[in-house]
Amino acid sequence: MRIDLPPLRDRKDDLPLLTRFFLDEICRTNGFEPREIDPSLLEAFGRYEWPGNVRELRNALESLVILSGKRLLAAEDLPEKFFRTSETSIGGMAHRPLLKIRNQN
C-alpha cells in the first residue's frame, strides 16, 4: 500500500501539531525539560517554504532545543534562513540562472 503525502509547504496547517510532537519527542529522548512554543515561532515556520520537508522541521527544532537553551522557543532563536525570501536570499539572486546573474553584475 502506498500513501502519498503532499510536501510540508502544502500542509502548513499541520505545523503546530508537528512542532509540538517533535519538540516533545526531542526533549523526552534527550532528557531535556519540555519546551514551550512562542506564537512567533509558528508564524516564522508558516512563512518558510520547507525545502527539506518534515526532516528539516525536526532538525530545526532539535537545533533550537540544544543551541538556544531556552524554555520558550521563539522566532528570534531561528537562523537567518527562516527569514529569507527568494527575492532576498543571496542578494536577490535565488532561482536565477548564474549566467544571467553574471551578465547583470
Q: What is the pLDDT of residues 21-58, one digit of tens each?
A: 999 999 999 999 999 999 999 999 999 999 999 999 99
> What is residue 77's predicted lDDT score, i.e. its pLDDT?
94
Single out the residue of 74, 73, 45, 47 nearest to residue 57, CA to CA. 45
Longest dimension (CA), the chain: 53
Average pLDDT over every residue of 65-83: 94
| Confidence check: pLDDT of 67 > 80 | yes
Judge contact between 7 and 15, C-beta under 8 A: no
Q: In whole angstroms, what is the distance from residue 80 CA to residue 84 CA?
A: 7
Q: What distances in angstroms separate CA 26 from CA 14, 60, 63, one per listed residue? A: 18, 11, 10
